[in-house]
Amino acid sequence: MKNFKVCGFVLIALFLQNLSFAQNSPKPDLLTFEQFEAKLAAAGKNAQILDARLPEEFTQNHLEGAVNFNIISKEELEKQSARLDKNKPVFIYSIGSGRSSILAKDLKNNGFKDVTVVPGGLSKWIGLGKPVISTVGKGLSKEDYLASLKSDKLVLVDFGSRYCPGCKKLDPTIDSLKNEQAGSLKVIKIEAYENKDLVKQLGVVGLPTLILYRNNEVVWEKKGGVSKAEIEKVIAGQTL
């Protein structure tokens, strides 16, 4: 019994030690978008802007002055971070904040003094109409988009990206609804980063974003993850 008690005390001590380490681990700065813009402007030429997405994504659209920083191993992290100045501010973005937050934590743990994740990621940056270096066209005009909404059915528009984990997770749900409710629902999928002007005009600042129209009027909008049951409930409420 005594041995069990000692073992229990050891386990509790290890748990408290790990909890303390987690609480004291360096975290990236979390700012509002306005605070971020001010900080980026203040950093000027000292700003080190990192794009944590895939090279293909970077080529399509990226912030001016950014470098692609797609990390696939600890060795790659060490190699690429050696090119940076640990004493100068670092700004990191991805589609949202998933990959950028992971990279930010790794850099903080490796001695970088000032690391900031772009609030809302590239989705919000583009949705707010901020400039990007781009190799893709403007995409659909708003007029063409509005024309595509004309239907005697409800129209569900899915703004997403093939690179967005949350969007890919939602895809089976949208495809299922499209098949199951074909008689009363029209589904339109929009690749957000190939339609930057449209995203800006509609104020889509996060992916995925779903917009439900009835007679060309928005009746429901949802940013981020959503269950099939929730979408079905909204659709049912519009078809009564």
Per-residue pLDDT reduced to its tens digit, 185-208: 999 999 999 999 999 999 999 999
Residue 8 lies in a domain: no
- The pLDDT of residue 29 is 53
Per-residue pLDDT reduced to its tens digit, 80-104: 999 999 999 999 999 998 999 999 9
Q: Are 41 and 119 found together in one domain?
A: yes
d(CA 164, CA 96): 8
- The pLDDT of residue 139 is 95
Q: Are 81 and 43 found together in one domain?
A: yes
222 pLDDT higher than 50: yes
Q: Which of 91, 111, 134 is the last residue of a domain?
A: 134
The sheet with strand 209-214 has its strands ordered as 185-191, 154-160, 209-214, 217-223
- Overall domain count for the chain: 2
Mean pLDDT for the chain overall: 89
Residues carrying an active site annotation: 164, 167
Residue in this structure with the two tokens 């490796």, named with its chain if needed: 110
CATH number for the domain that contains residue 64 = 3.40.250.10
Provide the greatest CA pair distance for the chain. Answer: 78
Residue 17 lies in a domain: no
Under the phi-then-psi rule, with left for phi > 0, alpha for psi from -120 to 50, and beta for the rest, what region is 106?
A: alpha
Residue 19 lies in a domain: no
Residue 1 lies in a domain: no
